[in-house]
Structure 1
Amino acid sequence: MKHPFLEIGQISKQYGNFTALEDIHFTIDKNEFVCLLGPSGCGKTTLLRIIAGLDTPNNGYIKLEGKDITSLPPSKRDFGIVFQSYALFPNLTAYQNVEYGLKNRNMKKSVRQERVHEALKMVDLVNIQKKYPTQLSGGQQQRVALARAIALSPKFLLLDEPLSALDAKVRDRLRYEIRAIQEKLGITTIMVTHDQEEALTMADKVVVMNNAKIMQIGSPQVIYNQPQHPFVADFIGSINMWKQEQGNNKLIGIRPEHIQLSHQGGVKARVESLEFRGAIYRLQLHVEDANSYLNNKRIKVDVSASTISEFKLIKGSIVSLNFPETHLLTYEEQAVI
């Protein structure tokens, strides 16, 4: 029987009375890029530390290629790790930082030099290898940390919020670079992030967490288009959500881009504001339709610039809204966390 590459089995972790992780179970395939996504304090970094062996679970196990590694120390788990803070040695050059881990492996100097050069080339930093961390930008420091991790040719890579300290443009570029390097090396990667866009653009599989539990696991497309829980729907992307008519405990949701504007029919609403967002406009609407149970509700709708022109939309315009059934999401109200 073929084992999954990495199996996280029924992992629980308590700190005194506080539950950091509760019955976490999922598997990761070889070469897969997995994002642990969730708000601060949901348990994702604790889970990463347990996978790394830096923390011990109260219950459960970690298996690597079918072998139980739960009690192995970090040094015996064969992974590379990149921290949010980079954790570079300030007194060592970029080259020496990448070489550091290899020196402990009794490797011939020529092999070591080749490995360091390859890793620096992979992250496009050969030209700054003699510089010290203080002489490098944040993005360059992060790439040195990545080169140091991949130089060891580990079985898997752990990334703990690796891009959160960088500005938006650098973050966008590094997102692309990290994913390209991961695909080129074919290295199984687990990344912790609270940034939904990061998870949606980089991951093969997203594990959405909240309050120490897994809320949903799936591809970015499934997580976005078929969220199984109001929390997932709300945390990833933007959503309109409201209770159905009185006496019904159902919640209805729809994403702003799925609501359609029409010239007649539908639910009447007034435009309260138009927010320019580059490729789209975000409309804030107030429903003014006594025939609809959405009367007095506020609704967000995303439309193109051409739709703005077609409907001649300005603040105060009255429009008709249609809610395509294929895009409506329905939840039990008690499912809200």
Structure 2
Amino acid sequence: MKIGIKLIGLLRLVIAQPLSILRFSLSILMGKYVLERLNAIFQLENNIQYALSKTWFTSLLPDAFLVLDSNLYTTVKFLIIVSAFGAALGILGRLNLLVLAFLCFYVFGVGEGIGVFDHHTSLPSQVIFALALVPGSMKLSIDYLLMHFYNKRKNRVLDFASNPKWGLNLVLALVAITYFSAGVSKLRYGHGMSWMDGSTLGFYLKERTIKYEGGESQLIIGDSKIKENEKWKDEFGFIAHTYGNFQTKKKLNDIAEYIANNKFLVVALSIGSVLFELLAFVVFINSKYRNIYLISAIVFHLSIGSLMGISFRQYRLICFFLIDWDYYLRFTFKKLKMQHLLNG
């Protein structure tokens, strides 16, 4: 019984540092992902001559950053590896987090500039940047360990257990804003309530271009007859695109097809997805609602991954470590302690 109480106590001490655990895991995952994107960009044929559209971030950079040659590739690859491991282990952790965040904005910005639109990376890139600034993200790190030994020699004690709440709340706010804005976007750019009639979700579920040669490229459809003042963020009169369903397993494709062809199910899921996203700020009510929402988000992305082959692994990781696990451990701890007292 005593061992169980001590183990849960130790586990609660570690779980009390969710931003540190998130920093370690997300740095490794995003380092791997940004490296894969870098390799994909430099594997394009004639990428030096490729017409690059600048995003808000890449437009701030000197032109030398956008000359995609082998020297730049080697330098950026080295920086990604060093910053990802440095941020994960907490060696000059905050500096490496800032460098990794910059590289995420840069590499994914270049990818978007050549037509690879990937909102997998929008939230995790911002979270990495936030982790470089907020308190509590470096408690489980080599930097903190060295600070501990230094302060010990000076007869000073660092406060390991407590962290200002605003650090965690800022990361939670990034999550809530991301989901909430996705829901608002569906209503705003889906012609009001028409997104929830199921036709858009049904189109996504039935999309199968990946099965055909060259199917990994999305088809972007524009209308040159659209009036200039009615165009949205482009010069082509963008009206539609193939979102890309990357699930190739027949059984899962059959399930997606069934849902897409079942009017009740596809409408229910469309309405449910919008409501889910619009309710994102319930994470700030209390731990119970925060946990329910974050667990629902994980299930939400697992469902998308099963039906469309889009994992949103980074989102799931962020949601998992932001769950208030101590909310569940407190009851176990109290129960074991009570039993221990009753048994003498």
TM-score w.r.t. length of structure 2? 0.26
Which one has a larger percent helix, Structure 1 or Structure 2?
2
TM-score w.r.t. length of structure 1? 0.27
Q: Which has the higher contact order (CA 8 A, sep 6+)?
A: 2
